[in-house]
Amino acid sequence: MNIILMGPQGSGKGTLARQIIKEFGLPQISTGDLLREQMKKETELGKLAKSYVNKGSLVPLDVILKILQDRISRKDCKNGYILDGFPRSKEQAEALKKIAKIDAVIVLEIPSDVIIKRILTRRVCSSCGEIYNTSSYSDPTCKCGAPLYQRDDDKSEAAIRNRLEIYDRETAPLVDFYSDRVYKLDGSGSPAEVYARAKILLKDLEARK
C-alpha cells in the first residue's frame, strides 16, 4: 500500500508516520529528512539543497526526484511506503504519477494558530529523528540519549511563514488532484489521539486491498 501523508507544516505528519511504521511496518519516506541527511553529510546534493531548505523554499524537482527514486527503489519499500512531504506541488504530483501508484492520500487538518505554536516548540533528536514538543517534553535529550535540537528553518519566522504560504498555494490544491482517494483526518489533540483516528482508517484501507 502506497500512502501519501499530507498536511501543513507542524500538522503532525512526521509524528504520525513514525507511529504507523511501528504497527503497520510501512517505511516512512520523508523528503525533508532525506534532505537534512544529505545536508549533514555535506554531499553535493546537500549543499545545493541547503539554501532552499533554510529559507523554507521548495528544492528543485530534479534534486528531490533523484533522492526519492533512490529511496523507493530500496528493498524495504517493496510492500509499500508512506510518503511524508512529497508531493508538494502539481508538478511533483505529475512526476510521481510516472513512478508510483498511490492508493490513498491522508490529509491532516489543523487550525493555523495551533500550527505556528507547534513549529516554534518542536525539537528533533539528532540521532534517531524522534520528534518532541517542549510543551509536553522539557528534557534536552531524547529517550535514546542523544541531544535534541531545533531545526534552523523552525527558528526563523520568515522561513515558517514561507513554508505555510507554499503549502496553501501549491500543496493544498493537491486535494483536488487526488480527489478519488483523499481521506481527511482531524489532526488536533495528542499524538495518541491522532494515531487512534488514523489507525481506524488504515485498517479499513488494508481490508479493502
Residues in touch with ligand ADP (CB under 6 A): 9, 30-32, 35, 52-53, 56-59, 64, 85-86, 88, 92, 153, 163
Residue tagged 534534486 (cell numbers): 63
Tell me if residue 122 is catalytic. yes
> Largest alpha-carbon pair distance within the chain?
44
Residue number closest to ligand ADP, CB atom: 32
C-beta of 30: minimal distance to ligand ADP in Å? 6
- Nearest 5°: phi and psi at 144? -80, -5
Residue 4 in grid coordinates: 501519501
Tell me if residue 88 is catalytic. yes
Q: Quick one: which H or E segment has residue 161? A: helix 157-166
Q: Nearer to ligand ADP by C-beta: 81 or 208?
A: 81
Catalytic one of 13, 36, 71, 118: 13
Q: Nearer to ligand ADP by C-beta: 26 or 164?
A: 164
Tell me if residue 163 is catalytic. yes
By C-alpha distance, which of 145, 151, 200, 141 is closest to 10?
Answer: 151
List residues with catalytic annotation.
Answer: 13, 88, 122, 151, 163
